[in-house]
Amino acid sequence: MFDVDWMGLLTREVLRERGAALIAESCAWAVGMSDAQHHERRAGRLVATGLTVGERAAHGRPLAGEEDGRLELGDARPGSFQDALNMVGADGRVQAERFDDEVLVPFVTETCRVAAERARVTRPADWAELAHDVGEDPGNLLDVVRAGGWEAPLRIDAEHLVLAALGAVPLIEVEAEGLPLSLVRAAEATTRAAAVPETAPVPDDSLAGALFLARTALEESGCTVPVGPEEADLLLAALGDNGLEPDEVTAVLPHLPVEEATITRIAATLDRF
């Protein structure tokens, strides 16, 4: 008798139900890409081509270069959303990596949470047995999901869903579709930034020098304030260029106008070194 992965089937079912929301979030994420300066890698060096992404797409020229990008995103129609995902950004990262971090990963995590909540309510005995099998508390939904390994394959399914719907669509059309939701997301980010915690951390006097350098780096970086996770790498590079050591970066971040997700991402980056 075959052992059916009912939880895996349930996560895919919930992903299909939330497919329209995923497409909407993807379109909103793409807003503004056409206005950015286009970059490509030549002989290993990242250089600006002198055109915006939108101008290059309008001329029918491919956005992704041969030295960057993912093989599975190759052979894209020039100027399409898939082509834009495969191009390199000003920070040297392929846009598909940003899309993974900023759209697919959080969306898949939430989808798995919804699926786990549904399983706990509709199949309590099966859910309890599943949690026992993976060695996690059945009340910790995402811990059970992560232990079961359902997020990784679902992320692949989510990427395929997005590419099937938007891959061949011109980038400018994707941006136009996502503009209303992007305005909503921007307003939400502004509201969150305005909600200053009552117990905001007070910088230690010993941080004065590092904090001065950090604020200067932030001003020179060109990052949008408050700094979102999509610009975490750019901010980290600016802090490093201004002479801050990793431990100083960690110490000053809570005192800068950056989002919590940005602090988390920079901390994860520093942990890899």
Is 237 a domain residue?
A: yes
Whether residue 243 sits in one domain with residue 151: no
Whether residue 92 sits in one domain with residue 164: yes
pLDDT digits (tens, 9 = 90+) for 33-42: 999 999 988 8
What is the span of the domain harbouring residue 234? 205-268
In order, the DSSP letters of the chain are: -----HHHHHHHHHHHHTHHHHHHHHHHHHTTGGGSEEEEEETTEEEEEEEEHHHHHHTT--SS-SSSS-GGG-SPPTTBHHHHHTSB-TTS-BHHHHHIIIIIHHHHHHHHHHHHHHHHHH-HHHHHHHHHHHT--TT-HHHHHHHHT-HHHHHHHHHHHHHHHHTTSBHHHHHHHHHHHHHHHHHHHHHHHH---TTPPPPPGGGHHHHHHHHHHHHHHT--SSBPGGGHHHHHHHHHHTT--HHHHHHHGGGSSB-HHHHHHHHHHHHT-
Is 222 a domain residue?
A: yes
Position 109 confidence tier, pLDDT thresholds 50, 70, 90: very high
More confident site: 208 or 256: 256
Average pLDDT, the chain: 87
Whether residue 169 sits in one domain with residue 225: no
pLDDT digits (tens, 9 = 90+) for 192-235: 666 545 444 555 666 778 888 888 888 888 888 888 888 888 99
Whether residue 255 sits in one domain with residue 120: no
More confident site: 94 or 185: 94
- Total of domains in the chain: 2
Whether residue 91 sits in one domain with residue 27: yes
Which pLDDT score, from 0 to 100, does residue 6 have? 93
Q: Which of 17-21, 131-135, 172-176, 209-213 has the lowest mean pLDDT?
A: 209-213
